[in-house]
Amino acid sequence: MAEYVYPAVFHPNEDGSYTITYPDLPGCTSEGKNLGNAMYMAQAALTHWIEYLTDKQQPIPPASGLQAFGTLPGEFVNFIRADLKDNRAVKRTVSIPKWMDDKVRETGLSLSRVLQDALSERLTL
């Protein structure tokens, strides 16, 4: 898992919402209805932005420190972390009872999808 940490500038809006920008990542912006939602949206935006750069094999710019940015009254800068998971498929050998395999084939289920869903739920991802 790769970890990225970038400073984000939170701009408060009159309605209590926040606009989030990443000075190191021009064009990477988001909004949140309140501060808690803004923190969540900031992390999602950063994660998607880094995933996009990675998918397009573009360089990921280095992150600046907190002191690198001036803020206007009411604004603040906070570090936001994005964890990128390696989603490449890997082959694993699993054993299940014959009757389950027969039922899987009968119903047309994807054994891989069912296993991924079950593991995601168990691992609370």
DSSP letter assigned to residue 59:
P
Whether pTM exceeds 0.85: no
Name the burial class of residue 29, with classes exposed (0-12), middle (13-18) and buried (19+) by CB atoms within 10 angstroms of its CB.
middle
pLDDT in tens, 82-118: 988 777 778 888 888 999 888 888 999 888 888 888 8
Q: Name the H helices within the chain.
A: 35-55, 98-107, 111-122
pLDDT in tens, 5-49: 999 999 999 999 999 999 999 999 999 999 999 999 999 999 999
Q: Say if CB 64 and CB 49 are below 8 A apart.
A: no
Task: Give the pLDDT mean for 63-71.
Answer: 84
